[in-house]
C-alpha cells in the first residue's frame, strides 16, 4: 500500500500512456475513421474554427475596405487595358473554338467520353492543422453547404488536394504535398503516367515512372483522372528535377502550380459530368463575324420588305424550342441567340469554371442590348435551325 | 542562469484560474493552426508545447502536468488527419517530466527556462518520432541540426510565453 502511494504518479503516468497507446493502435488498425475519434475531432474543430472564421472575416473585411474604397488609383486605366484584352481574347477564342470543334469531331468518331467540371463551390481557407506532419487545411464550407468527402479542391493555378473530413460548417482538405496523399498524374508531353505523392519534408514527387524514360525538367504534370477524384487534364505542376531512383523508377521532383503555403481561396469541385463529345452543329463562328459586331451596321430594312425573302430565323436555345427571330420593328432579321444550360466550360482551365451554384455559363452572350450576339461557346451547342450565325447588320452601340 | 536546487518547501506552487486554464491552451492550439498559414516560418514553433511546459513548471504537480499535457496534445491531434494520440503521448511525457523537474529545481529565472525548454522540446520530438515511425508507420527523417535549431527557437519564444503566464498565475 505504501509502495502504491509512493509511486502513485508514476503508476498514473504509465496508465495514461498505456490508454493512449491502446487508442492509437486501434485507430491505426482501422482503415476507416472511427466514430469515437470523430467525436473528439468534431469538438476540437468546433472549438477552434469559430475563432479562425472570425479572424479571416476581419482580415478580409479590412482588406476589402482598403481595396474597394480607398485604393482605387489606376482603376480606369486598368479598366481600359482589360477591355482591350477582352477584345483580343475573344478573337483568340474563335480560333481556339475551331480547334476544339475539330477535336470534338474526332473524339465523337472514337466515342470518347470527356469529364467536365460542371459545378464548383468557392471556399475560404480558415486554418491549418498546426503540424508539419499533417499537411492539410480547413475550409469554411462543410456538409451544410453540400461538401462531401473525396471531392477535388483546386485553385486557378492548379490542384490543391482533396476533402478528407467533413464537419458541419468546415472541412479538412488534405494537400497534395502530404505524405499520405496520392494523385494519379501524367506528364504532358511524354504522356508517362505515375503517382504524385508528398514527402515528409513537404516536397512533391512523381513516383512509378520507369528509369529508362527521359523526363526533361520543366515538363508540365497534369492529372490523369485515374484516381477517380480529379478529372483528367488539370494542371498539377512542373518537373524540377528527374534523377534515377531506387527500384528501376525515376525520382521526379515536382513543383506544384498552386502555392500550397499561401492558400486563401480555393474551389471545391462539387460535380463532374462525363459525356461523349459531340461535334458543333452550329458551325464555328468566324473572326470576321466577331469583328462585324463592332462595326457600325446598316439600318434595318422595313418589315414588309423582309417578308419576301424571309428566311425563317430561329433562336437556338438550350431547350431547342424554335421561336421567330424577328418579333417586331427594329429587330434584325436573323438573330442567333445561343444560350443553354449545357454550355459549360471544359475541365482544363479551372478559372473558367462556375463558382458557386450553376448560373449563366461563360461563353454565352446576352442580347439585351438589341444587337446581334454571336456567341462563341467553348462547348458544343445544339441548334435547331439557322446553323450559321449571321453577321451583325444593325447599329451597334460600340 | 544557474539552475539551483531547492527543497520542496522552498519552491512555490502556483495555480491558474479556470478561464485561464481553458482559454490559454485553446488559444495556443488555435494560434498554432492559424499562424503558419499567414507566416509559414511559424511552423517551427510549438506553442501548445510551450504552454504545457509553462503550466507544468508553475503548478509543480506531476499528475496535473501529465493530464494537462495529454489533453492539450489530444486537442492538437484532433486538428490533424493523423491518428489521435501522437501529440497526446508526447505531451503527457513532457507535462509529467516538466512538473517533476519543477519540484526539484528552481525554474523561475529565464536562463533555466531556456535550457529546460530546449531539453523538453527534444524529448517531445524524440517521443513523437518513435511513435509516429514505429506505431503509425509514417515516413520521417531525424535531423539533429534541425531539431536543435527548432529547440533554440522554441526556447527563445518560451521565455516570452512563460513571462506572460507568470502574470496569470496565482499563488496557492
| Section A180-205 average pLDDT | 89
The verdict on a CB contact (< 8 Å) between A21 and B136 is: no
Q: Mean pLDDT for chain B?
A: 87
Max Cα–Cα distance, chain B, nearest Å: 47
Give percent of chain B with pLDDT exceeding 70: 93
Q: Which grid coordinates belong to A147?
A: 461538401
| Section A304-316 average pLDDT | 45
The verdict on a CB contact (< 8 Å) between A136 and B30 is: no
| Section A171-195 average pLDDT | 90
Q: Which grid coordinates belong to B80?
A: 490533424
Give chain A's radius of gyration (CA, Å): 28
Nearest CA in chain B to A32: B83
| CA B100 from centroid of its chain's CA atoms | 14
Q: List CB contacts (< 8 A) between A261 and chain B.
A: 40
Contact B86, B97 (CB under 8 A): no
Contact A389, A336 (CB under 8 A): yes
Nearest CA in chain A to B89: A17
Rounded to whole angstroms, the Cα distance separating B13 from A44 reads: 30
Nearest CA in chain B to A199: B139
Nearest CA in chain B to A36: B84
Q: Which grid coordinates belong to A59?
A: 482580415
Q: What is the CATH number assigned to the segment(s) B4-171?
A: 1.10.1760
Rounded to whole angstroms, the Cα distance separating A350 from A364 reads: 18
Q: Please state the domain extents for chain A.
A: 278-398
Q: What is the pTM of this model?
A: 0.69
Q: Which of A108-117, A285-294, B18-27, B98-107 has the highest mean pLDDT?
A: B18-27
Q: Which is higher by pLDDT, B156 or A63? A: B156
Rounded to whole angstroms, the Cα distance separating A51 from A142 reads: 16
Q: What is the pLDDT of residue A115?
A: 67
Pick B84's closest partner by Cβ from A40, A47, A199: A40
The verdict on a CB contact (< 8 Å) between B66 and A200 is: no
Q: Please state the domain extents for chain B.
A: 4-171
Q: Which grid coordinates belong to A312?
A: 425563317
Contact A152, A159 (CB under 8 A): yes
Q: How far is B152 from chain A (nearest CA, A)?
A: 18
**Lowest mean per-residue pLDDT among A82-96, A163-177, B145-159:** A82-96
Name which of A291, A299, A279 is nearest A383 in CA terms. A279
Q: Which grid coordinates belong to A124?
A: 475560404
Rounded to whole angstroms, the Cα distance separating B73 from A25 reads: 17
Q: List CB contacts (< 8 A) between B81 and chain A.
A: 129, 134, 136, 164-165, 172, 174, 178, 180
Amino acid at each position: 500500500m505504501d509502495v502504491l502511494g509512493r509511486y502513485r504518479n508514476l503508476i498514473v503516468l504509465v496508465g495514461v500512456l498505456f490508454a493512449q497507446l491502446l487508442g492509437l493502435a486501434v485507430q491505426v488498425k482501422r482503415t476507416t475513421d472511427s466514430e469515437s475519434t470523430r467525436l473528439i475531432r468534431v469538438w476540437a474543430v468546433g472549438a477552434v474554427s469559430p475563432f479562425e472564421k472570425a479572424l479571416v472575416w476581419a482580415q478580409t473585411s479590412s482588406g476589402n475596405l482598403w481595396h474597394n474604397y480607398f485604393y482605387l488609383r489606376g482603376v480606369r486605366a486598368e479598366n481600359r487595358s482589360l477591355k482591350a484584352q477582352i477584345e483580343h481574347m475573344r478573337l483568340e477564342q474563335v480560333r481556339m473554338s475551331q480547334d476544339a470543334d475539330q477535336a470534338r469531331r474526332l473524339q465523337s468518331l472514337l466515342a470518347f467520353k470527356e469529364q467536365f467540371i460542371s459545378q464548383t463551390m468557392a471556399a475560404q481557407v480558415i486554418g491549418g492543422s498546426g503540424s508539419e506532419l499533417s499537411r492539410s487545411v480547413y475550409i469554411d464550407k462543410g456538409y451544410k453547404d453540400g461538401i462531401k468527402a473525396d471531392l477535388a479542391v483546386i485553385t486557378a493555378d492548379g490542384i490543391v488536394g482533396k476533402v478528407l473530413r467533413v464537419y458541419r460548417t468546415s472541412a479538412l482538405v488534405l494537400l497534395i504535398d502530404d505524405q499520405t496523399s496520392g494523385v494519379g498524374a501524367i506528364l504532358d508531353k511524354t504522356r508517362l503516367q505515375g503517382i504524385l505523392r508528398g514527402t515528409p519534408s513537404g516536397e512533391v514527387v512523381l513516383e512509378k515512372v520507369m528509369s529508362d524514360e527521359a523526363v526533361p525538367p520543366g515538363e508540365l504534370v497534369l492529372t490523369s483522372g485515374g484516381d477517380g477524384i480529379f478529372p483528367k487534364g488539370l494542371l498539377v505542376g512542373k518537373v524540377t528535377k528527374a534523377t534515377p531512383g531506387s527500384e528501376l523508377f525515376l525520382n521526379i521532383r515536382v513543383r506544384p502550380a498552386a502555392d500550397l503555403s499561401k492558400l486563401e481561396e480555393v474551389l471545391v469541385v462539387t460535380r463532374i459530368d462525363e459525356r461523349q463529345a459531340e461535334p458543333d452543329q452550329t458551325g464555328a463562328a468566324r473572326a470576321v463575324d466577331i469583328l462585324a459586331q463592332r462595326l457600325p451596321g446598316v439600318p434595318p430594312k422595313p418589315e414588309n420588305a423582309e417578308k419576301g425573302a424571309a428566311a425563317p430565323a430561329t433562336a437556338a436555345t438550350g431547350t431547342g424550342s424554335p421561336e421567330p427571330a424577328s418579333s417586331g420593328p427594329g429587330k434584325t432579321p436573323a438573330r442567333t441567340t445561343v444560350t443553354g444550360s449545357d454550355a459549360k466550360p471544359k475541365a482544363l482551365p479551372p478559372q473558367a469554371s462556375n463558382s458557386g451554384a450553376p448560373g449563366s455559363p461563360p461563353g454565352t452572350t446576352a442580347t439585351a442590348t438589341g444587337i446581334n450576339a454571336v456567341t462563341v461557346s467553348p462547348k458544343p451547342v445544339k441548334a435547331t435551325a439557322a446553323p450559321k450565325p449571321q453577321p451583325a447588320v444593325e447599329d451597334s452601340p460600340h | 542562469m544557474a539552475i539551483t536546487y531547492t527543497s520542496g518547501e522552498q519552491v512555490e506552487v502556483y495555480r491558474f484560474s479556470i478561464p485561464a486554464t481553458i482559454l490559454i491552451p485553446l488559444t495556443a492550439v488555435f494560434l498554432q493552426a492559424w499562424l503558419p498559414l499567414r507566416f509559414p516560418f511559424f511552423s517551427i514553433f510549438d506553442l501548445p508545447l510551450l504552454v504545457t511546459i509553462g503550466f507544468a513548471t508553475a503548478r509543480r504537480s506531476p499528475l496535473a502536468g501529465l493530464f494537462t499535457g495529454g489533453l492539450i496534445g489530444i486537442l492538437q491531434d484532433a486538428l490533424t488527419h493523423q491518428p489521435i494520440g501522437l501529440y497526446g503521448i508526447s505531451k503527457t511525457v513532457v507535462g509529467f517530466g516538466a512538473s517533476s523537474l519543477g519540484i526539484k529545481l528552481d525554474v523561475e529565472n529565464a536562463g533555466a527556462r531556456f535550457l529546460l525548454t530546449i531539453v523538453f522540446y527534444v524529448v517531445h520530438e524524440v517521443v513523437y518520432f518513435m511513435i509516429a515511425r514505429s506505431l503509425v508507420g509514417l515516413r520521417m527523417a531525424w535531423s539533429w541540426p534541425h531539431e536543435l535549431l527548432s529547440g533554440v527557437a522554441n526556447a527563445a519564444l518560451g521565455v516570452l510565453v512563460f513571462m506572460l503566464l507568470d502574470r496569470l498565475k496565482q499563488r496557492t
